[in-house]
Structure formats: structure tokens, C-alpha cells
Amino acid sequence: MPFALALTVLFAILTLLQLALILGAPLGAFAWGGQHRVLPARLRIGSAVSILLYGLIVVIAWDRVGAIDVFAPLFSEVAMWVIFAYFVLGIGMNAISRSKPERYAMAPMSAALAALSFLIAMGYGELAMAI
């Protein structure tokens, strides 16, 4: 469970960032390629969708470690591997961003999310629960 908890905390931080972006905070350099200081409406909608996806990923992670029972075990296991692959891709995408804040903040965030997703996908969260 500590990996799912750490993943949840990181997503809470990202949710706060996305909420700030939705509300018009001048933090656009940290997201969506860093091309906008304040996000346009279409990217604010994207930020709202991101928050929903964060919630889904957190539910899948907690399901995978066995803390909740929402999905079939095979679904949550496969989904965590897909999530891991997504964050590995995110490391590269954030690392090549033209925005320095996005490169320096979000590439490490993606790396941390990838590492946690890997550990959860491997079932290490389940081992922690069994102890």
C-alpha cells in the first residue's frame, strides 16, 4: 500500500496544478507543452479531463494492491502495465518539451509515477498488504 499511497499523493499535487490551470493561474509553462502562460479554453478542458483520468488511475492502483475491489484482478493488473507504459512515454515527452519548467518539473514527476506504477503493476503493493 505505500506505493499506492505515494502515487495518490503525487496525483493530488498534479490535481492541484491542473485546478490552478483551469482557474487561470499563469502556470502554463508546466503543462501542455508550456506554450501558454494562461491556458486557453480547450486546454483547460484538457486539464479537467486529466483530473478525471488521475482519479481513475488512483482507483486502478488501489484496486491492484487489493485495498479496494472495483475491477477484475486481471483488468487492474493489465491496466497498471498500460499506465506504467504511459508514464514511461511521458518521461520522454516531458524531457523534450521546449518549456524548461515542464522539462525540469514534469519529467521527474513522470519518472516517479512510472516507478510507482511499475512497482504496483509488479504486485509489490500486494506483498506489503500481506505482511
For a pLDDT cut of 70, what percent of the chain falls above it?
A: 95
> In one letter, which amino acid is 97?
S
Cα separation, 90 vs 87, in Å, equals: 5
Q: Is 25 helix (H, G, I), strand (E, B) or coil?
A: coil
Number of domains making up the chain: 1
Range of the domain at 88: 2-130
User: Tell me, what amino acid is at 84?
Assistant: F
Give the CA count within 13 Å in the CB-facing half-sphere of 8. 13
Looking at the whole model, is its pTM more than 0.85? Answer: yes
Tens-digit pLDDT profile for residues 74-119? 999 999 999 999 999 999 999 999 999 999 999 999 999 999 999 9
pLDDT at 126 over 80: no
- Chain-centre distance for alpha carbon 76: 16
CB 34, CB 102: distance < 8 Å: yes
